Structure 1
Amino acid sequence: MTSPPPPLPPRPEPPSRPVAALDPESWATVLAPRLAHFAGVARSEHVTRAAHEMRMPQSTLSRSLARLEEDLGVALFARRGRTLALTPAGRTFLAGVERALGEVERAADEVRADADPAAGKVAFGFLHTLGPETVPGLLRAFRADHPGVRFSLVQNYGEAMLERLRAGGLDLCLTSPVPQETGLVACRVDEQRLHLVVPDDHPLAPRRRVRLAEAAGETFVTLEPGYGLRRITDDLCAEAGFRPRIAFEGEEAETLRGLVAAGLGVALLPPPAVPRPGVVELGITAPRAVREIGLAWREGAPDTAPVAAFKRFLLGRRGRLLPRGEG
């Protein structure tokens, strides 16, 4: 009976490298090329097998691991003949390495997808009032030819969206009024009629159309200052020769319709996606009561392929962007 071979002498710890010898900001640069090598060996627990899987010479992989341990100043593997086992430090390091490599993989997938007009993502902003019907219809029509494109959708009032657009958080946005400012490109893509919305028991309710001046003595409910529709309301009332007496200010058009239905005032609003009980929508004969819908993007910002495709799609629907009945 042969006696077992004597145990291998413990592998000396790699010499510590003084931390001062490396610029702290250079750790990622120093370690990054070796992280995939380390993860591959950790998974297979065998240098030869890992080298074969990664299609590189074993000697190159061994040198990469040795240099990694030298740079870190710790042993990542315990050698057991031809196999390797992670040390406690190695297990801790592997968890971070796998997270980092996963993030790199996801980022690479994302940028490669963005270069493909059939895939990638578009960050798209739009007004709340365009959300119930207009935007879902647009996305359905666009994705018929671009089913792989994903969207990050943001609903907000105009100025908040433009602020996000300026900061690079949006690729495109539909807003009103059409912005005219340095650093942004915007063009009119459609217009939307505004109605005078009154309670169904209001003296004007039996009418189909009115002049806005006929509402000069009414109490109005409006959006808060800073909203594009509020600015349009103030401007139209001024053009009609009066300043609106405002009782309530809100943040959402359908809430204002609810206030009108409750008899708390009248409002200038775009058509609803679904008719609201308790109110009557009156056309306005004078002044011309419309709001322009504009498409905006950052001047000089490079478009990914899906953003360019969606921009072309929206610009190609000028004058017919809104569903019939809303324009």
Structure 2
Amino acid sequence: MPHQHRPQSRLSHTGDTEDIVALLAPRLVHFAGVARTEHVTRAAAEMGVPQSTLSRSMSRLEEDLGVELFARHGRTLSLTPAGRTFLTSVDRALGEIERAADEVRADADAATGKVAFGFLHTMGAETVPGLLHAFRADHPRVRFSLVQNYGEAMLERLRAGDLDLCLTSPVPDAPDLVARRLDEQKLRLVVPADHRLAGRRRIRLAEAADETFVTLEPGYGLRRITDDLCNEAGFRPRVAFEGEEAETLRGLVAAGLGVALLPPPTVPRPGVTELTVTAPRAVREIGVAWLAGHPDTPPVAAFKKFLLSRRGALLPT
């Protein structure tokens, strides 16, 4: 066979990854097809592209790499050692792309797709399971990826594209997000069962100005609401303990370590008394949020419509 000149790479710096990917990516499927058939004419017929296009594509691929991938024998080809090495990686890469395409198509399927849904810890025991049960009555095969977190962390994950929708409080007001108020939840002042106020049913929050509070950590929506309500009542709460979950705070109250403003529990907890706050109006709004301008897949659109239909009836009574 006559001597073949080694192709000169068209890349000035072989380490320039972005340039080499941009050059090579459109030709990888062509290369895999020719390598599989070892015949340009047959590969062109199988892939439905002109033979001349395929021949130019292979020549340019070798020029881009600066490596001979094929040994030519008239109308037939055979892979060089470099070509066999390259084919192994190309097959792997194309397989990953095919699997990724299958995955995103499956996630977007109207009947069996996936919804990435975030919600507050306090809604995980009863509210969210009830919502999912009701939604799946009409969409039995839609899958969910569920994330429990505090509000700000969920909004960060919305912005990062990790979540499609989230239930959060307070309802966010940001230009890059769309949010809709769905319901509100009354907050109660939770005190130890042997506390001086435990015999009461109602209380003005100002009457707890001298109490020690246990709260969620800064950054949690309920912590911000607690601080704002206490400020409206004319005092700044003296915080002794900060936690990450409402039920942990109830346990601290039951142990006599302070009082707390909390939403109603899923089941009554012994050792505490829960008082209705008459002033100021102690509620937290619950809303659904999503990324503005972000297109919805059919399952996400269906679940969003379902949530919006639950306005005023989101939370158990």
Counterparts of residues 31-110 of structure 1 (less than 5 Å): 31-43=24-36, 50=43, 53-54=46-47, 61=54, 64-77=57-70, 86-110=79-103
Describe the superposition over 1:14-47 as per-residue Cα deviations: whole angstroms up to 9, x where unpaired.
Answer: 4334434999555334323321132234445666
Give TM-score, length-normalised by structure 2: 0.82
Alignment match, 1:310: 303
The separation in 2 between residues aligned to 1:46 and 1:206, in whole angstroms, is 90
User: What is the percent sequence identity of the aligned residues?
Assistant: 78
1:190 corresponds to? 183
Q: Per-residue CA shift, 1:73-100, capped at 9, x if unaligned?
A: 2222456899866443223322332343
Q: In the alignment, which residue of structure 2 is the partner of 1:199?
A: 192
Aligned to 1:19, the other structure's residue is in SS state coil
Look up the match of 1:220: 213
Q: 1:114–1:305: 8 Å Cα contact kept in structure 2?
A: no
Which of 149, 170, 173 is the aligned partner of 1:177? Answer: 170
Alignment of 1:1-327 (within 5 A): 9=1, 12=4, 14-20=6-12, 25-43=18-36, 50=43, 53-54=46-47, 61=54, 64-77=57-70, 86-113=79-106, 116-322=109-315, 324-325=316-317
> Alpha carbons of 1:38 and 1:157: their partners in 2 closer, same or farther (altered >3 Å)?
same
Gap regions ≥5 residues in structure 2? none
Name the SS for the 1:264 alignment partner: coil
SS of equivalent residue, structure 1 residue 226: coil
Q: How big is the shift at 1:60?
A: 5.7
Residue 81 to residue 136, structure 1, CA distance change in 2 (3 Å) = farther
Count how many residue pairs are aligned between Structure 1 and Structure 2: 316
Which whole-Å CA distance do the structure 1 matches of 2:28 and 2:6 have between them? 18
Deviation at 1:151, TM superposition (A): 3.5
Query: How much does 1:211 deviate?
Result: 3.7
Amino acid corresponding to residue 4 of structure 2 in structure 1: P
Structure 1: any 5+ residue segments left out of the alignment? Answer: 1-8
In structure 1, distance between residues paired with 2:306 and 2:280: 32
Moved more, 54-63 or 270-279: 54-63
Match of 2:144, SS state, is strand
Given that residues 37 and 61 in structure 1 are in contact (C-alpha distance below 8 angstroms), is that contact kept between their aligned partners in structure 2?
Answer: yes
Cα distance change, pair 248–94 in 1 and its aligned pair in 2 (3 A):
same
| Residue 245 of structure 1, CA deviation | 2.1
CA contact (8 A) 1:13 1:74 kept: no
Cα distance, 1:191 vs structure 2: 0.8
Worse overlay, 56-65 or 282-291: 56-65
Aligned residues of 2:108 and 2:114 also touching (Cα < 8 A): no
Task: Tell me the residue number matched to 1:3.
Answer: none
What's the TM-score once normalised by structure 1's chain length?
0.79
With 32-41 and 221-230 compared, the bigger mean Cα shift is at 32-41
- Does the aligned pair in 1 maintain the 2:212–2:259 contact within 8 Å? yes
Distance verdict in 2 for CA 1:16–1:155, change over 3 Å: same
TM-fit CA distance, 1:296: 1.9
Contact in 2 for aligned 1:196/1:266 (Cα 8 Å)? yes
- What's the secondary structure of 1:40's corresponding residue? helix
CA RMSD of aligned residues (A): 3.4
Distance across 1 between alignment mates of 2:292 and 2:142? 23
User: 1:167 Cα shift?
Assistant: 4.7
**Cα offset, 1:269, TM superposition:** 0.9
Higher deviation after alignment, 98-107 or 111-120: 111-120
Which residue number in structure 2 is paired with residue 5 of structure 1?
Answer: none
